[in-house]
């Protein structure tokens, strides 16, 4: 499954809609193109997924057998890791080493959820009902069954194509659902390799179907489809809201992993040698195109100047470049559209009097590269402070005490991730309780484990992924009551 194979293969996929170009964000040249699958393909995919689900070919398979297949998927992810990394790095522009580093974790994610295949069970309750509608008293034996939702649509963004796809598929497969995965139109290439891997591992036909198309066509049709029981979406809050509206037709359940405007609090007593580079890469990594990126840094006044200086130094010295450029730690933005959007926020800030300590411009070379940007003197009402930019842009503001830090940290409609840097552990844990955020990291950033649930507070999401909560996302509960 070479790069050339995937570039050719995507051209051959059937489609009835528009031709979609795939652009290399490093050269701004077209890599290949494909045809939008169109709405009819969504109908077909739903019918196939439903047939697979209803036949019981996957959900009815013994859990231990499903687990074995999922382990084979994990082994194949390792076997094809270099191909997957090469394809994802070419398609997104991320450094090859970073794309490679994600692969072992994707394999382990499959092994983690393989373990859950044999552990899906409900609860039993012996209860004495008193005073029901008939006034009867009854001894009841009751139990709950955990059952897969059925057909799930999984719509994912372009910022981590392989990692996010596996993160959606593994728990749904462990639960026994049939998945229809729609990668982003910018980055559909690695999804074709995923399809191959699943078939090679022995996943039955119809359990996972990949649809390649635009969001407003294939994605919207999937979100509105009456034959889809649940939608799991990762992407912008704006599109998440559209999906919620589309889902109302059949009241399908919705899981949303949305945007963030994550605060990072750096205290006077923090280990600044670690905190400064981590906070810098916590926003600049992947050119800020990560929902958990710490895009608002708050610094206690005593070390404010030192931290701004340190962040600026990282911004000015970190190397930007294409996937295979020696020493490049950060790639470009994904597209011209994203470049225009990011520069729009920066230019608006400049006009409003924000101080650009460093950056604020695209690089003088081909590719959608933006110089890592540090902004101060920012008004908290500004769009660039309130909205997710999804670029290498950070605002830095000073604070005096916990109350002020918490007020500013909680001051957006998002609540995805937050970080505290301090050597005072008591304060760190007190702040963890006060921050309105689905994840709080203390003295670390960009950390993750499959066993730990991820979800958004406020407008950062609905529901949870990863860990036990991740498989429960794809299970519904049935209660069975028996009169003894
Ligand atoms: P953008 O591309 O503007 O950044 P997102 O990152 O939110 O938007 O897109 C994430 C995913 O959602 C992509 O797969 C995209 O194709 C899809 N998408 C976009 N618009 C819709 C929509 N109206 N309905 C369903 N999916 C959509």
- CA count, 13 A, side-chain hemisphere, 220: 10
CA of 235, closest atom in ligand 1: 7
C-alpha 83 – ligand 1 centre gap (Å): 26
Confidence of residue 384 (pLDDT cuts 50, 70, 90): very high
For residue 2, what pLDDT band results from cuts at 50, 70 and 90?
confident
Is 22 close to ligand 1, i.e. is its CB under 6 Å away? no
Closest CA to 384 of 339, 354, 340: 354
What pTM did the predictor assign? 0.97
C-beta of 243 in contact with ligand 1 (< 6 A): yes
Q: Nearest C-alpha to atom 20 of ligand 1 is from which residue?
A: 215
Indicate if the pLDDT at residue 134 is higher than 80: no
Mean pLDDT value of segment 411-422 = 98
Q: What is the model's pLDDT at position 430?
A: 98
Mean pLDDT of all residues in 397-403: 98
d(CA 422, CA 416): 20
> Is residue 376 within 8 Å of 308, Cβ to Cβ?
yes
Q: Is 354 in the pocket of ligand 1 (CB under 6 A)?
A: no
Supply the pLDDT for residue 1.
67
Give the pLDDT score at 138: 81
Mean pLDDT for the stretch of residues 143-149: 98
Cβ contacts of residue 283 below 8 Å, gap of 6+? 293, 294, 295, 297, 372, 392, 393, 394
Three-point CA angle 375, 338, 187, nearest 5°: 135
Domain residues of the chain, as ranges?
Answer: 3-258+460-483, 263-449
Pairing of strands 30-35, 19-23: antiparallel
Span 326-380, pLDDT tens digits? 999 999 999 999 999 999 999 999 999 999 999 999 999 999 999 999 999 999 9
Q: How deeply is 132 buried, as exposed, middle or buried, from its count of CB atoms within 10 A (0-12, 13-18, 19+)?
A: exposed
Report how far ligand 1's centroid is from the alpha carbon of 239 (Å).
6
> Is the CB–ligand 1 distance for residue 210 below 6 Å?
no
Is 220 a pocket residue for ligand 1 (Cβ < 6 Å)?
yes
Question: What is the distance in A from the centroid of ligand 1 to the CA of 133?
Answer: 48
pLDDT of residue 324: 87
Total residues found in the chain within this entry:
484
- Residue 257 to residue 423: CA distance in whole angstroms: 31
CA gap 462, 477 in Å, rounded: 18
Measured in Å, how far apart are the chain's first and last C-alpha atoms? 59
The torsion angles phi and psi of 141, rounded to 5 degrees, stand at: -105, 125
- The band of 381, judged by pLDDT with boundaries at 50, 70 and 90, is very high
Going by pLDDT thresholds of 50, 70 and 90, the confidence category of residue 110 is very high
C-alpha–C-alpha distance, residues 141 and 138, integer Å? 10
- The fold for domain 3-258+460-483 equals Aldehyde Dehydrogenase; Chain A, domain 1 (3.40.605)
Is the pLDDT assigned to residue 136 strictly greater than 70?
no
- Give bridge partners of residue 152 from the DSSP assignment: 179, 230
- The pLDDT of residue 130 is 75
Which pair of structure tokens corresponds to residue 472?
């429960």
Parallel/antiparallel/unpaired status of strands 454-455 and 464-465: antiparallel
Can you read off the two tokens belonging to residue 46? 């739903």
Give the residue, out of 17, 168, 184, 256, with the most ligand 1 atoms within 8 A of its beta carbon, to mutate for a pocket test.
184
Write down the pLDDT at residue 264.
99
Across the range 124-147, mean pLDDT stands at: 84
Q: Which CATH architecture has domain 263-449?
A: 3-Layer(aba) Sandwich (3.40)
Question: Considering the chain, what is the average pLDDT of its residues?
Answer: 97
């Amino acid at each position: 499954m070479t790069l050339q194979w995937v570039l050719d293969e995507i051209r051959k996929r059937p489609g009835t809609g528009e031709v979609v170009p795939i652009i290399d964000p490093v050269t701004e040249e077209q890599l290949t193109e494909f045809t939008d699958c169109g709405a009819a393909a969504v109908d077909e995919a739903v019918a196939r997924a439903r047939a697979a689900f209803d036949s019981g070919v996957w959900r009815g398979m013994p859990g231990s057998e499903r687990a074995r297949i999922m382990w084979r998927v994990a082994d194949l992810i390792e076997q094809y890791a270099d191909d997957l990394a090469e394809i994802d790095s070419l398609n997104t522009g991320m450094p090859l080493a970073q794309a490679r580093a994600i692969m072992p974790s994707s394999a382990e994610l499959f092994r983690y959820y393989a373990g859950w295949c044999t552990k899906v069970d409900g609860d039993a309750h012996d209860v004495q009902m008193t005073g029901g509608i008939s006034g009867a008293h009854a001894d009841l034996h009751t139990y709950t069954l955990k059952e897969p939702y059925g057909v799930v649509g999984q719509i994912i963004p372009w910022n981590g194509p392989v990692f996010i796809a596996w993160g959606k598929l593994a728990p749904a497969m462990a639960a026994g659902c049939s998945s229809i995965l729609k990668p982003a139109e910018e980055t559909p290439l690695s999804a074709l390799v995923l399809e191959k891997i699943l078939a090679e591992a022995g996943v039955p036909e119809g359990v996972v179907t990949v649809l390649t198309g635009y969001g407003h066509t294939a994605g919207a049709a999937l979100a509105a489809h009456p034959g889809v029981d649940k939608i799991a979406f990762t992407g912008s809050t704006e599109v998440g809201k559209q999906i919620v509206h589309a889902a109302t037709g059949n009241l399908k359940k919705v899981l949303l992993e949305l945007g963030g405007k994550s605060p990072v609090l750096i205290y006077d007593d923090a280990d600044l040698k670690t905190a400064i580079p981590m906070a810098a890469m916590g926003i600049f990594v992947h050119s800020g195109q990560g929902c958990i990126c710490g895009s608002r840094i708050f610094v206690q006044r005593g070390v404010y100047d030192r931290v701004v200086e340190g962040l600026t130094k990282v911004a000015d010295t970190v190397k930007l470049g294409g996937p295979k450029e020696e020493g490049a730690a950060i790639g470009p933005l994904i597209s011209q559209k994203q470049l225009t959007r990011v520069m729009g926020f920066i230019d608006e800030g400049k006009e409003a009097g924000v101080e650009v300590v460093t950056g604020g411009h695209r690089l003088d070379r081909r590719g959608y590269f933006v110089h890592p940007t540090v902004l101060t003197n920012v008004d908290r009402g500004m769009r660039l402070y309130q909205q997710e930019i999804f670029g290498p842009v950070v605002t830095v503001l000073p604070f005096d005490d916990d109350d002020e830090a918490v007020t500013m940290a909680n001051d957006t409609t998002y609540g995805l991730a937050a970080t505290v840097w301090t050597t005072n552990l008591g304060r760190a844990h007190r702040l963890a309780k006060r921050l309105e955020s689905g994840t709080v990291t203390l003295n670390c950033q960009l950390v993750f484990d499959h066993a730990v649930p991820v979800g958004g507070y406020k407008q950062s999401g609905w529901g949870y992924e990863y860990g036990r909560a991740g498989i429960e996302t794809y299970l519904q509960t049935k209660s069975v009551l028996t009169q003894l």
